[in-house]
């Protein structure tokens, strides 16, 4: 039997009505940022929003997820591909890691092609030193990006 990794997902409040289809599909298929769990089982122990800028729910959500056994918290891909991308993503990651001692991964599902195309067109992610590490977990091949459109 393989180890089960317990995870939580925090999404951008702009998408608060999102049913989680892309994130949950990627979790099930171990795609995007969930590819790192290819050789283990995963269990979702929490899924919620940040509660809107500046992320008032992150403090309490992190605590609840860790109480539920979360070993890793994923900041959803929507925080990267929404327009504009979340200005608090570094703050959320740093806070959750320091306050709760939990690993934080930026990203869930692969970046859909349509979002990659528009952000490339707008030059959103031109500062590669800042964005490349944040996007790395969710950049996949073109066929996979198209499948998430």
Phi, psi of 141 (to 5 degrees): -75, 165
Q: Give Cβ neighbours of residue 120 (< 8 Å, ≥ 6 apart).
A: none
Place of tokens 């790395």: 136
The region, left, alpha or beta by phi > 0 then psi within -120 to 50, assigned to residue 123 is: left
Sign of CA dihedral 113, 42, 37, 60: positive
Whether the pLDDT of residue 1 is over 60: the answer is no
- The residues with which 5 forms a beta bridge, in sequence order, are 42
Tens-digit pLDDT profile for residues 90-149: 999 999 999 999 999 999 999 999 999 999 999 999 888 889 999 999 999 999 999 999
Q: What's the pLDDT score for residue 61?
A: 94
Structural domains in the chain, sorted by start: 4-147 (3.40.50)
The more confident residue out of 2 and 46 is 46
Q: What's the pLDDT score for residue 127?
A: 84
2: confidence class by pLDDT, cuts 50, 70, 90: confident
């Amino acid at each position: 039997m393989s180890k089960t990794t317990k995870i939580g997902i925090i999404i951008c409040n702009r998408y608060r009505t999102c049913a989680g289809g892309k994130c949950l599909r990627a979790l099930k298929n171990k795609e995007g940022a969930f590819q790192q769990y290819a050789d283990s089982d995963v269990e979702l122990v929490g899924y919620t929003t940040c509660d809107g800028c500046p992320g008032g729910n992150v403090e309490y959500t992190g605590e609840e997820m860790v109480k539920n056994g979360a070993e890793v918290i994923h900041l959803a891909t929507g925080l990267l591909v929404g327009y504009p991308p979340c200005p608090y993503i570094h703050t959320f990651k740093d806070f959750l890691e320091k306050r709760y001692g939990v690993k934080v991964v930026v990203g869930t599902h692969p970046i859909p092609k349509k979002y990659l195309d528009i952000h490339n067109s707008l030059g959103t992610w031109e500062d590669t030193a800042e964005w490349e590490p944040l996007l790395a977990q969710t950049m996949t091949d073109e066929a996979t990006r198209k499948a998430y459109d």
